[in-house]
Amino acid sequence: MTRYLIHRPIAVCVVTLALAVLGILAFRQLPVSLLPDIPVPEITVQVSYPTASARELQRIIEQPLRNQLLQVNHLDDIESVTQNGLAVLTLRFDYGTNTRLAYLETNEKIDAILGQLPRDLERPKVIKAGAGDIPVFNLNVLPGLGYQGDFLALSEFCENVLKRRIEQLPDVALVDATGLAQPEAVVQVDPGKLASLGITEQQLTDVLKQANLQPGNFSVREGPYQYNIRFSSVLQTPQDVENIYISVGGSGTPLANAAQNDPRVSYFADNVLTAQETRAEAPRRLVALREIATVTLREQPLTGEYSFSRNESNSQKATSKRSVCLAIIKQSDAQLLHLRAELADLQTQFSKDYPQIDFALSQDQTELLDISVNNLISNLLTGALLTFGMIFFFMRDRRLPLLVGLVIPVSIAVTFLGFYLLGLSINIVSLAGLVLGMGEIVDSAIIILENIEEKREGGMPVEASCIAGTEEVIRPLFTSVLTNSAVFMPLLLLSGLAGALFFDQAVSVSLALGTSLLCSYTLVPVLYSLLYRQETGPKLTQSPTRFMRWLDTAYLTTFSLAFRFKRSLLVSLLLLLAGAGWMAVHIGKQGMPDVSRTELEVFIDWNEPLTVAENQRRTEQLSRQLAPAPEYVSMFTGQQQFILNRQLQQSQNKTLLSLQTASEQAYRRLSAQIMTLVRPQYPTAIVAVRPARNVFEQLFNTTEPTLRLKLYNTQGKQPVDPARMAGIEEKLTRSGLTTNPVGQENQLTVRIRTDKLLLYDVDESALIKKLKTVFNNNQVTNLQSEQRFIPLVLSEPTTPNGYSTWQQAFVNNRQKQSIPLRQLIEAIPQTDYSVFYADKEGAYVPFDFLIDSPLVRPVQQRVASFLQQEPGVLAGWSGQHFRDQTYLNELLGVVAVAILLLFCILTAQFESLQQPLIVLLIILLGVAGAIWSLFLAGESLNILSVIGMIVLIGLLDNDSILKLDTMNRSRDAMSLMDSIRSAGQRRLKSQVMTFLTTVLGLVPVLFSGGLGSELQQPLALSVIGGMCVGVLVSWTVIPVLYWWLYSRQASVLT
């Protein structure tokens, strides 16, 4: 094959150039994102029932719905959170589950149980999760200095103009919005006029509903023609409502009787006729609604609010403004940086078109992407330049480094072509795979060139040297590339998203190594023959460089010391392994490595029944006390209107602050400062400080507490009684266990006194409607405006929502007599949970412990000891600690599978069971060196560091395979000791060059920032530490073990 290619240099060069150009074109078309577009096996079900309390909603809706959803196939876990008016159920499936089928099945289960749920319940929303659900930007729209309109007009403008213009961008999938003010039409009646005219609220309600009926379309035939007749009697504006007429009198309803029933008349007039007197029938007349009521358009009562503030002048007192937040969701294949440029142009256009409105971006995910991708690309280029420059220290002929350097861009370009064909994207994981493979890309070219040079120095002509030198090493090179790629395959056995996430890294490394091997096998010998075709004779042996002479001396010295002090070498190896074992036990362990952050979220549950206004006041007061002042503050107060953001489905006494800081130090200071500001003023508040949400946080849920205690009630389906739970919480505090307080709230339970209803002959439905009217919650119908439905609410004038309002109100009984509401109902104050939690096992009460992993076991023992005195209470445990342990245990199994796979490949290569054991021992010592480097650098044992060890397995076997193969081939021509020594010298240059190219390719990762580099730093430490130990072990342990193995065989044969 090599002979065929050498004779067709033009074809080889043209094909290589064509592939490189296609790779460059493919690179320009590849989507760019922070992480791979992974289907998240998670579905969220949102249940909205505004009129129900948290306990009622949990009992009559959430519990039967959760039991129904437990029957969905491949369900791994289910978590539900229920609060006043809202329940969110999160279904997590086994990874690999077809989420489309799971989505359909979830809807089928919901449809099957809807008949058992309340009739007025809105159908639950089913949302399929995805990595692209997180907004790439938040565009904040807030009134400027010259804005004259109200917030209702701004909200309508955002919803009907801005949102639609942004959604027209090709890379935008959806614009999700919150903070919008919603309008409602209010009919404020005059109770005195109603009573004087004898009109009841029920009659007024019926009139409004009848005036808004839609009879539909009718068809009328006239000869050969047919016409569609449409009735336009629907209500569209407040003026339409004011122009409604009501018929009064003329049907046996005397005006005096109406006045008698009005408390404002009958209680203070002396000349009111009694029921037994003869009364004249009032004349029939029409009354316009505007005569007895006023109809206005106003903002609906707030259940939540969004505010935004920027610190532009480095002041600590930036004023927040009520704003509208437009969250921009990208298409899955969008170019993020291109989308940011488009949105920046659109934002500039908005500022010119609407100067009275301010626009500001926040939660910009592209900044993280830009920093991470740019750092990784710079690491890639730096590693390539360092690798290219290092080659000059080993080769005197300046043409050879150019050949090696040519392999780097060609291999990377063809790798990007492979990305395009396989549907991969440019993200921090795939780029990190290229950075990891940078050092290995040139290995094949270096080894082939070294072997060609050796053949020429042995007297062969150029063409024969190219053929023989390439064919001689291609099989061990193919084996080494195969092992490097094969060690990544067990990573796909990881459960959950970790295995799927690092699929991109495995593919990128395998593509880079495969293309570099193909390029080295086809292009390098062809270009070498072209460069040296004028040289007909054998190549004169060149004197080695000064660096190579020093390296050769170091190798021979180390070689002789290893054979002279074999016992000392054995003791050193045992100490290395023993120290690594001790460090592996005591080193910190976690799932994903810690990364630097500059944006945090503060979740606060005030644990009090606050209004939205008071919640907003407290939140603003807290934000003004922060020092150093954040660059911007986004305040999500109360309920939000996002469709996809499941984290903001909160009640109106909760708030979420998103703070952007200038640096990692400011992030830590603010994180520590939040607790000290909230606790002294509001001791019952529940505060949680966590990193801001991005794709990485969503996929791996790094905000989960280290340990969560779940207390179940074994004596019923409802959670443990709140009073008893308060006692358990007190025991936890006395035991020295710091945890979050249980969220409870004071409530007013209204009980209707049925005996009084019967006594005063009051209809219960009339009583309930009167209560709704008093509290501005009596929706009669909807106004059908041009673009939306506006609720029409019946209300009384100047009735602030409060405890005393209903005590002063009256309701008519069936005889149209006014009865005080306070005589018919009873308000009972009580305390209950503000939020109800449940999982597959049932309802529970959670306690979160933010502790280090070594303290998990003692905490579990202390909790178990005092729970023995609490009959009927069962403890369950979950948290980040257990998930990390699962990941690490799986990774140990992955390492074992990788070693077993490597052993199978090596036995097939060497046709021996003994020589593969030498390679496995070298790998074990290299892994020990990786643990030493992690421990000394203060890193933890996590997914990335263990993946680095798996990568190390593939790297360490390269030199071992080539060295053992050289020993096996030269052992027949010379003595055992000479074959061992010469094999090491022959492979010395390529071994050290491979070591340096790998290390130099990873060194930039250790000294750069960004999420991509920080994620790969534990991996780089593992590889560099293991490679350093691997080189020394290769110089000493392999020769000694090979000599010990085959000298014994020789003595046995003798």
Domain ranges of the chain: 2-34+368-592+885-1053
pLDDT band at residue 97 using 50, 70 and 90 as cut-offs:
confident
Over residues 442-462, the mean pLDDT reads: 80
* Cα–Cα dist 1033/1027, whole Å: 10
* Cα–Cα dist 545/408, whole Å: 24
- CA angle 416–419–420, rounded 5-degree value: 95
* Cα–Cα dist 133/39, whole Å: 11
* Cα–Cα dist 629/316, whole Å: 5
Residue with the bigger pLDDT between 970 and 754: it is: 754
- Reported as a single tens digit per residue, the pLDDT across 940-955 is 888 778 778 877 877 7
Give the pLDDT score at 1052: 47
- Reported as a single tens digit per residue, the pLDDT across 263-296 is 433 333 333 333 344 445 557 778 888 888 888 8
**Would the pLDDT of 251 be above 70?**
no
DSSP state of 941: B
As given in the structure block, the two tokens for residue 823 are 């005589």
Over residues 92-101, the mean pLDDT reads: 84
- Reported as a single tens digit per residue, the pLDDT across 978-1008 is 888 888 887 787 778 778 877 877 787 787 7
**Type and span of the H or E element at 838:** strand 836-839
Over residues 502-522, the mean pLDDT reads: 82
Strand partners, 941: 589
Give the pLDDT score at 694: 64
Q: What average pLDDT does the structure give for the chain? A: 80
CA 456 to chain CA mean position, Å:
57
Give the pLDDT score at 262: 42
* Cα–Cα dist 477/958, whole Å: 8
As given in the structure block, the two tokens for residue 472 are 């001689």
Give me the amino acid identity at 938.
Answer: G
Give me the amino acid identity at 35.
Answer: L
CA 518 to chain CA mean position, Å:
38
Contacts (Cβ under 8 Å, ≥6 apart) of 839 = 77, 78, 79, 80, 710
Tokens 């001790």, located at residue: 582
Q: Among 114-118, 454-458, 466-470, whose mean pLDDT is lowest? A: 454-458
* Cα–Cα dist 519/629, whole Å: 55
Residue 170, helix vs strand vs coil:
coil
Contacts (Cβ under 8 Å, ≥6 apart) of 142 = 308, 321, 322, 323, 324, 357, 358, 360
The secondary structure of the chain in percent helix, strand, coil, rounded to multiples of 5, reads 55, 20, 30
What are residue 199's phi and psi, to 5 degrees? Answer: -100, 125
pLDDT band at residue 341 using 50, 70 and 90 as cut-offs:
confident
* Cα–Cα dist 851/859, whole Å: 9
* Cα–Cα dist 365/382, whole Å: 26
Over residues 689-695, the mean pLDDT reads: 74
Sheet of 707-713, strand order: 125-128, 42-48, 86-93, 75-83, 836-839, 842-849, 707-713, 873-878
- Reported as a single tens digit per residue, the pLDDT across 577-613 is 999 989 988 888 776 777 777 888 898 888 888 888 8
* Cα–Cα dist 303/640, whole Å: 8
**Would the pLDDT of 467 be above 60?**
yes
**Would the pLDDT of 895 be above 70?**
yes
CA 273 to chain CA mean position, Å:
74
Residue closest to 999 by CA, chosen among 551, 373, 443: 443
- By DSSP bridging, strand 789-795 and strand 183-189 are parallel
Q: Assign domain 2-34+368-592+885-1053 to its CATH architecture.
A: Up-down Bundle (1.20)
Give the pLDDT score at 110: 93
What are residue 18's phi and psi, to 5 degrees? Answer: -65, -45
* Cα–Cα dist 782/236, whole Å: 8
Within 10 Å of residue 963's Cβ, how many Cβ atoms?
A: 27
Q: Please write down the HEC assignment for all residues of 70-124.
A: CCCCCEEEEEEEEECCEEEEEEEECCCCCHHHHHHHHHHHHHHHHHHCCCCCCCC
- The pLDDT > 90 percentage for the chain reads 10
Residue 851, helix vs strand vs coil:
coil
Residue closest to 444 by CA, chosen among 464, 422, 473, 482: 473
- Reported as a single tens digit per residue, the pLDDT across 866-881 is 888 888 888 888 888 8
**Helical ranges in 272-335 per DSSP H:** 289-292
**Would the pLDDT of 68 be above 90?**
yes
CA 131 to chain CA mean position, Å:
6
DSSP state of 461: -
Alpha-carbon distances of 886 from 292, 586, 892, 943, rounded to whole Å: 70, 18, 10, 11
* Cα–Cα dist 296/299, whole Å: 10
Classify residue 267 by burial, with Cβ atoms within 10 Å: 0-12, 13-18, 19+. Answer: exposed
Strand partners, 227: 220
* Cα–Cα dist 169/347, whole Å: 12
Check whether the bond before 628 is cis (ω within 30° of 0): yes
Q: Between 976-986 and 1011-1053, two packed helices, what is the crossing angle to 10 degrees?
A: 160
- CA angle 982–985–990, rounded 5-degree value: 135
Give the pLDDT score at 697: 63
Count the alpha carbons within 13 Å of 1038 in the hemisphere toward its beta carbon.
32
Burial 842-857 (b: 16+ CB within 10 A, else e): bbbbbbbbebebeebe
- Reported as a single tens digit per residue, the pLDDT across 370-416 is 766 666 677 667 766 776 777 777 766 677 777 877 888 888 888 88
Over residues 908-913, the mean pLDDT reads: 76
- Reported as a single tens digit per residue, the pLDDT across 723-744 is 888 888 888 887 777 777 787 7
Give the pLDDT score at 808: 76
- Reported as a single tens digit per residue, the pLDDT across 133-145 is 778 888 999 988 8
Give the pLDDT score at 372: 62
**Would the pLDDT of 540 be above 70?**
no
- Reported as a single tens digit per residue, the pLDDT across 655-666 is 999 888 888 888
Residue 971, helix vs strand vs coil:
coil
Count the alpha carbons within 13 Å of 959 in the hemisphere toward its beta carbon.
31
Give the pLDDT score at 494: 63
